[in-house]
Amino acid sequence: MSETRTLGLALKSTVTVMGDLGSIGEEVLAAHDIKNIDITATYPGKLRQEIHEAAYRRFGAAALLNFGFAMYDHYSFEAVNKAVETYWSVTQDTGPTLEALDAVFQVIISHLDASMKRGHQHDEQVYGVTFHRINPLVYGIQWVTTSLPHHEAFAEGIIHSTIVRFISSDWQHDLVFHADRTTADAAHSTFHWTLSFQLKSDRSITCRELITRYELELKETLLKNVLEDANRSLSTVMSSVKYASRLQRGQLPRPERIQNRFTSFAALWEPRDTIGGDLYWLSSSRLEGPFVLSVVDCTGHGVPGAMLSLLVSNLLERIYAHNTKTNPAEALLALDDHVRRGLNQDQKDSESDDGCDAAILRIDPHQRLLEYAGAKIGLLQVSAQGLLTRHSPARCSLGYQEPIGVDARPQLHTIPYQPGDVFALVSDGISDQVGGPLGKRSYGYRQLEATLTAQAAMSANDIIEAMKKDFADWQGNSARRDDVTAVVFKV
Amino acid sequence: MSPPELLKPRTVEVIGRALASTIESMGDFGSIGLEVLKQAGIAEIDLQTWYPIRLRDDMHEAAHRRFGDAVLFYFGFCMSDYYPELLAGLDTQLANYKMLMASSHPLEHEKAVGDYTALCASLYDRATKMSGRFVGQIKPYTVVCSARGKGQFEYLATGYLLPSHHAFSRGILEGMMYHCLAEDWHFSAEFSPDEFTFDGLYSVLPFRYQFERRTQWAGTSAQLSRQYKAEIKESLLKSVIKESNHSLGLINASIRYASRLQQALLPDLVEFKSHFLSAAVNWQPRDVIGGDFWWFKSGGEHREGRLALIDCTGHGVPGSMLTLVVNAALNRIHENTPDLNAAEVLQALDQELRKNLKQEQTTAVWGQDSDDGCDAGLVYFSSQRPWLAFAGAKINLIQKSLTGQMTLHAGSRISLGYRGPLNAAPSLQKIPFTNGDIFVLYTDGVTDQTGGESERPRSLGTKRLLEAVQRCESVDSESVSQSIWTAVSDWQGKGSQRDDRSWIVFQMP
């Protein structure tokens, strides 16, 4: 059996008729690598089925009914117009008659039939629309089409639109679909309806007005379905977000990893939208020797950002699984490599280009030595005397498709410290936050450093509180720009 | 009263009836309104009670944030349907308008519009006074209309309305104007929301309209109103579709991302197969990604191997996120405490997960839905031992000997990581095998798959799965896997996949 083909014109009208739902159609075309429809070419009949199916899956039969109803504008109805004119002139004096209805109905159906046949090219099966009269005012309609068996609403919309358009001010119609009589083979479906007419007592309501009413009704049902779909999607998103948030919070250091390691330790961790790409991490309390602290800012927002942060915390856990011997600069390189491979970004055709900024500290309280390496996240140190030192990070990010060049690699800084020295690591969500008197400038580092210097004698908790307050004052009514993370500690 | 006092949200209140009509006029959008009430802890609205205006603001804001001006305009436009008493007697009030319009003198027509717009303003004025009030001070809502020039009128609405929700007011006004005016006049709004002021309590919103006499009969006001409603619906449809597509885009992006991460975490199949005479893995998530995954580690001079099949709660994105956590926990346990046996690892995994997942349980928000965990089957083997160690938490191990003898080694009836400690320790099973024995680990998505010949769909069940394994005549993992595949898909028939389905087949050397 040869393949059913649809004329480009029909396909194009399908996408156009879908109106705002059309993006669904365009997506299907894009999936088949079709950019523009050539209206004179023919395309696999499957394409239109797929477009209809995509809309049907999301918005139900109401979408197909709407498409069918709007399809009218894409057919030429000249022959019908003539018949309808005759109908009105004949019935002007006599009022609506059975003979006139029968005559115009016959033209409408045979014209639909011709239009269907023009839209498709096919080998053996003659498809189109036929009707037979069951008794006066009641007709049986049979429609052979390339539509899928459960897409009958599309054909139904077409029938409604033609009937309403021409004779609805005289006749009320009632279309009953017989689902049990639908038959289908690989290429066609056959649908059956019973269409019954009832004479109206008053022909004062125009067809045009009835079309509007009908359209309004159709739109209302469709709107309801679309809204349902929107709500469903939103709740899926929300539940993913809630879930990610819970997992993400569970990944932050537990108290036993913080206890007994610092004189004081405090962290500010505020994802912009419930979840985010920021995290801070501490090595296991079971491991002997120096311990490791890291602050990471992953690209991406929402669920992907949170998932990346889960991956990164897992990777840190692995790098420092057995001991904490790996120095921070090597650990950053390992992180870079793992993230790239973890996201398959080492593959040529990778669709993602994600990564993270990070700072890793290895702290040896016995020797009062701290090793630091940073990729776009710097380390601030303030001595008990209030002397500020900035330890600058390398200007590279980790994990992106492009591996880090040898020259750009993070350097290892070995930093001696005194008890009472304050250290701070902050993500760029703080420095990039706009605010201030005009709500237009970035927070930057100056104010942060001032707070840090002024509060250096206080506990980490007090410093974070002071930073938080100052930062909130700066932000004022401006919207939060990014995830915000700050870790302050004394060893 | 000091200024900050003024800004207290309770200073403006809205009558219950207005809230109810807001929800009702929201129609299918009403669920957004109900959501707001739920959050405020209000189960039912009392029509006679005054509520904080915050409630209506929140409803409007929730709808506006998702669907923009179109939705608020639509609410406003339908508002008069919910205040029928306002429109009672409208016909008599319109008599004057109709009389003036019947005149042939254009000045009379101009006057007619003036009267009509004043009428609309007074209707709106009455509606707002009925529905809202300032508490503790006399500062009423007012809506007045004044002529500004030829055919131009300004409605000045003062009272309480967030300027960003101006489309709601505009909808109310135009809804009223359509009750009569549309038949004779074409009108267009000519104002910019920038002109609106709001001091946190009191807003001043000037709405200007330009009227032009229609030169052609376009239909009755009622007809035009319906037509206009259809147009509004159309633009509303557009916003809703946009939002729906946006959410779907987020979902798809998350799924693609999760799928990539998940694929990257799965073990290297070639390395895995190298430990066996033959091996096959079928990993079949229900929705691209899922809660099933498998894990494999090997090492040591005796080529020791540790294989796990895990089935986490949930499907889709949440399920796959949980697999990331479980995978990390397994790695951590394996690396920190390599000497634990399979049963002890399951116990450690349970503790690790509970710590990881339950941290937030003290807060009420997460308390409800945090009952997550996993089923697991763990197999340890070594080239030195003629037996393998198996521990299962609701995951079983099938053994088929070369002679065709079938044994089902059932896992313990426990799940890991869920609320509350394990009610029993997982048991460790020592399973002797001979060279060439085939083993199958599978998740319950396989046996729970519904289908079959009978009227009412039934689960595939363990018995039919065992039959499928036994039926397979070739003695290699790939064929066994194929036989399971056929059995499950035949059983499923035209039905849909119920759950993630995974199985791992391996043949001991």
pLDDT tens, A327-364?
A: 999 999 999 988 887 776 766 666 667 789 999 999 99
* pLDDT for residue B4: 37
Chain B nearest-CA residue for A222 = B237
The partner residues of A269 in beta bridges, in order of sequence, read: A485
The reply to whether B295 and B202 lie within a common domain is no
Q: Are B153 and B34 in contact (CB under 8 A)?
A: no
Q: Do A227 and B238 touch (CB under 8 A)?
A: no
pLDDT computed for residue A412 by the predictor: 95
Are the Cβ atoms of A307 and B66 closer than 8 angstroms?
no
| Shortest distance, CA A331 to any CA of chain B (angstroms) | 17
CA-wise closest residue to A86 among A66, A67, A70, A108 = A108
Specify the CATH number of the domain A252-490. 3.60.40.10
For residue A360, give the H/E element and its range.
Answer: strand A356-364
Alpha-carbon distance B412 to nearest alpha carbon in chain A (angstroms):
27
A–B interface: beta-carbon pairs under 8 A: 165
Which residues of A are less than 8 Å from B29 in CB distance?
A: 227
Q: Chain A within 8 Å of B360 (Cβ-Cβ)?
A: yes
Residues 229-258 (B) with a CB less than 8 A from some CB of A: 229-230, 233-234, 236-238, 240-245, 247-248, 250-251, 253-254, 256-258
pLDDT of residue B139: 64
- Which of A307-346 are b and which e, b meaning 16 or more Cβ less than 10 Å from the residue's Cβ? bbbbbbbbbbbbbbbeebebbbbbbbbbbbbbbbebbebe
| Domain boundary, last residue among B197, B225, B240 | B240
Same-domain pairing of B198 and B101: yes
pLDDT digits (tens, 9 = 90+) for B383-426: 889 999 999 999 999 999 988 899 999 999 998 987 777 778 89
The reply to whether B216 falls in a domain is: yes
The number of C-alpha atoms within 13 Å of B482 and in the hemisphere containing its C-beta is 8
Which residue blocks in B26-105 are alpha helix, DSSP H? 30-39, 54-67, 69-78, 84-87, 90-102
Q: Which pLDDT score, from 0 to 100, does residue B83 have?
A: 79
**Is B482 contained in some domain?**
yes
In A, which residues are within 8 Å of B243 by CB distance? 230, 234
Inter-chain CB proximity A236 and B316 less than 8 Å = yes
> Which whole-number Å values give the CA distances from B220 to A172, B115, B185, in the listed order?
22, 19, 11
pTM greater than 0.90: no
Pair A250, B356: CB distance under 8 Å: yes
* CATH number of the domain that residue B46 is part of: 3.90.1520.10
Average pLDDT, integer, range A382-393: 91
Is residue B195 in a domain? yes
Its domain, for residue B42, covers 3-240
The CATH topology of domain A5-225 is H-NOX domain (3.90.1520)
Q: Is B2 exposed, middle or buried (0-12, 13-18, 19+ CB in 10 A)?
A: exposed
- Is the domain of B271 the same as that of B236? no
Distance, in Å, from the CA atom of B408 to the CA atom of B501, rounded to the nearest integer, reads: 19
Are B250 and A303 a contacting pair at CB < 8 A?
yes
Asked whether residue B252 is domain-assigned, the answer is no
Nearest CA to A372 out of A458, A450, A264, A295 is that of: A295
Query: In terms of domains, do B171 and B50 share one?
Result: yes
Q: Do A375 and A394 contact (CB within 8 A), yes or no?
A: yes
Element (H, E) at B484: helix B477-492
What are the b/e assignments for B286-322, b being 16+ CB within 10 Å? beebbbbbbbbebeeeeebbbbbbbbbbbbbbbbbbb
Q: CB neighbours of B468 closer than 8 A, spacing ≥ 6?
A: B483, B484, B486, B487, B488
Containing H/E element for B188? strand B185-189
CB contact at 8 A, A18 and A52: no
Cβ–Cβ under 8 Å, residues A259 and A389: no
Run of H or E including B186: strand B185-189
Question: The tokens of B19 are what?
Answer: 């809230």
Q: Which amino acid is at A103?
A: A
* Sign of torsion over alpha carbons A408, A412, A418, A424: positive
Q: Which long-range contacts (CB under 8 A, 24 or more apart) does B486-490 make?
A: B487/B460, B488/B446, B488/B449, B488/B460
Kindly state whether residues B384 and B235 are assigned to the same domain: no
| Residue position matching structure tokens 């990010």 | A397
Contacts of A317 in chain B (CB under 8 A): 328, 331-332
Q: Are B37 and B178 members of one domain?
A: yes
The domain spans of chain A are 5-225, 252-490
Does residue A2 carry a pLDDT above 60?
A: no
Separation in Å, CA of B507 to nearest CA in chain A: 30
B254: in domain: no
Put simply, whether B220 touches A (Cβ < 8 Å) is no
Domain count, chain B: 2
Hey, what are A303's tokens? 């669920």
Q: Are residue B148 and residue B27 in the same domain, yes or no?
A: yes
CA of A267 to nearest chain B CA: how many angstroms apart?
A: 17
Q: Point out the least confidently predicted range of A122-131, A293-302, B378-387.
A: A122-131
Share of chain A above pLDDT 70, in %: 95
* Domain end (from B240, B257, B283): B240
Sign of the torsion angle spanned by Cα atoms B460, B462, B467, B472: positive
| Positions of chain B with pLDDT lower than 50, given as ranges | 1-10, 359-369
Considering only residues 57 to 76 of chain B, which have any Cβ-Cβ distance to chain A shorter than 8 Å? Answer: 66
Judge if B315 and B176 occupy the same domain: no
Annotate B340-356 with three-state secondary structure.
Answer: CCHHHHHHHHHHHHHHH
ipTM of the modeled complex: 0.72
B477 and B389, same structural domain? yes
Q: A223 to chain B: which residues are within 8 Å by CB?
A: 28, 233, 236-237, 240
Q: What is the mean pLDDT of residues A412-416?
A: 95
Q: Per-residue pLDDT averaged across A282-288, rounded?
A: 88
The answer on B321 and B217 residing in a single domain is no
B192 lies in the same domain as B282:
no
Q: Which helix (H) or strand (E) holds B322?
A: helix B316-336
Q: How many helices (H) and strands (E) does chain A have?
A: 14, 20
